[in-house]
Structure 1
Amino acid sequence: MSIIPMRHARICEKVRSSIDIIEIGTPMIIEYGMSAVRAFRKAFPEKEILADAKTMDAGEYEAEQCFAARGFLNRLMHLGLTAYFVGEPTTPSIGAGDLLVIGSGSGTTASLAVNAKKAKAAGAKLATLTIFPQAEIGSLADVIVTLLGATPKRGAGETDSAASAQPMGNLFEQLSWLTYDSVIMELMGILGETAETMFPRHANLE
């Protein structure tokens, strides 16, 4: 079980007699945390549950979640601002005066919700891009940017705010790119930066 929503996991019940091991894949653990493992253990007490918590799995799916944020981070650096990506070895602790930006279409990604709570407890501000502003991460945020989109991770009773023929979270990720770029354009004017003043900060070691 990797990238399907938890509400669809009942498919295992239909093939219960043929299952020996139920694997909870990395993407599902990232999205739902250990609650997914506990839910399957409760539903299938007689089965072996394998929690596959690798650093990277289903690479394209997981990488898409990070590309837009990393691109935004890169441009913030080009503007001369201090910016870090959560999880990097050189990222310092967060505290008062800092801003954590989270992109989560569902607004419920378990690992991101944990980070949001930690950041708020440390006195930092929180901004989020999301399809569902009423979800857990949105309820913690100081600034919410609501994007149209569709996600297979929506909660029970929730409906997508836009229809798309694209798979999974593609529409949300594309709108995230455009939103981040729009913020950069606004900041260029506020900070008096141009492409010419930003370019000297571009990496020269590659």
Structure 2
Amino acid sequence: MNDVKNNVHEILAELNRNAEQIESEGFNKLLDEIITAKRIFLAGSGRSGLVIRAFANRLMHLGLNVNVIGDVTATFAQEGDLLIIGSGSGETQSLVAMSQKAKKNDLRVALITMAPGSTIAHLADAVCILPGASPKVQEEEPQVASIQPMGSGFEQLTLLSYDALIMALMPRLNQTSDSMFMRHANLE
């Protein structure tokens, strides 16, 4: 029977299989980029955009200077800043243009993607590759089979990877859950 509980178990099994394929090199580079950045700008479109906003919130809780591109409060970017893009395909035109503009302004660029051969990946200083399946990824890019629709597995693994990055950053930034909670919104 195809019920919700069984589907959750199947999704978790798929994510576990995909997590085994994660390569640490790109994520280690991203950790270094985050630590050395003056300010961090984050961007994504669609569901990847929703997930990267959650990552921005967690980075803010660490005490980092964080801006989400498109928010009215996002500030001026300059040399020494880092742009982190979440894009399964690495080909979303608005994100490609943003990456090009960032490089022209001497920003560092990091990408979390399924597509290591994408336009943004070629521009990026750090590329974190996650396995996934999406109809938007070009055929020459490696993909894994998925029981889930569209890019759901990628977004789920991305969110887990973002949380894993936060866990890796916490000791490097001398932060704990308690110190992070002190930055949690209190006007809600």
Scaled by the length of structure 1, the TM-score of the pair is 0.67
- Identify the match of residue 165 of structure 1 among 147, 153, 158: 147
Whether 1:94 aligns to 2:55 is: no
The 1:138–1:63 alpha-carbon spacing in structure 2 relative to 1, beyond 3 Å, is closer
| Aligned partners of 2:96 and 2:119 also within 8 Å | yes
Partner of 1:70: 53
**Distance (whole Å) between structure 1 residues aligned to residue 141 and residue 90 of structure 2:** 13
**Distance (whole Å) between structure 2 residues aligned to residue 203 and residue 191 of structure 1:** 20
- Higher normalized contact order (CA 8 Å, seq sep 6+, divided by chain length): 2
Aligned length: 144
Paired AA for residue 76 in structure 2: S
Q: What CA deviation, in whole Å up to 9, does each residue of 1:20-45 have, x standing for no partner?
A: xxxxxxxxxxxxxxxxxxxxxxxxxx
Q: Give how far 1:94 is off.
A: 1.4
Paired AA for residue 182 in structure 1: A
**Distance (whole Å) between structure 1 residues aligned to residue 142 and residue 187 of structure 2:** 43
Q: What CA deviation, in whole Å up to 9, does each residue of 1:37-88 have, x standing for no partner?
A: xxxxxxxxxxxxxxxxxxxxxxxxx652222101110011111100010001
Partner of 2:94: 111
RMSD of aligned residue pairs (Cα, Å): 1.2
Whether 1:181 aligns to 2:169 is: no
Paired AA for residue 184 in structure 1: I
| Aligned partners of 2:90 and 2:119 also within 8 Å | yes
SS in 2 for 1:106: coil
SS in 1 for 2:182: helix
Paired AA for residue 124 in structure 2: A
Paired AA for residue 97 in structure 2: V
SS in 2 for 1:118: helix
SS in 2 for 1:201: coil
| Aligned partners of 1:151 and 1:160 also within 8 Å | no
| Aligned partners of 1:100 and 1:119 also within 8 Å | yes
Partner of 1:128: 111
Paired AA for residue 205 in structure 1: L
The residue correspondences of 1:37-56 to structure 2 (distance < 5 A) are none
Larger Rg computed on CA atoms? 1
Q: Give how far 1:159 is off.
A: 4.8
| Aligned partners of 1:151 and 1:169 also within 8 Å | yes
Q: What CA deviation, in whole Å up to 9, does each residue of 1:145-180 have, x standing for no partner?
A: 00000111122x425421101111101101110111
| Aligned partners of 2:91 and 2:118 also within 8 Å | yes
Gaps of 5+ in 2: 1-44
- Identify the match of residue 145 of structure 1 among 113, 120, 128: 128
**Distance (whole Å) between structure 1 residues aligned to residue 97 and residue 109 of structure 2:** 12
The percentage of counterpart residues that share the same residue type is 47
Q: Give how far 1:201 is off.
A: 0.5
SS in 2 for 1:94: coil
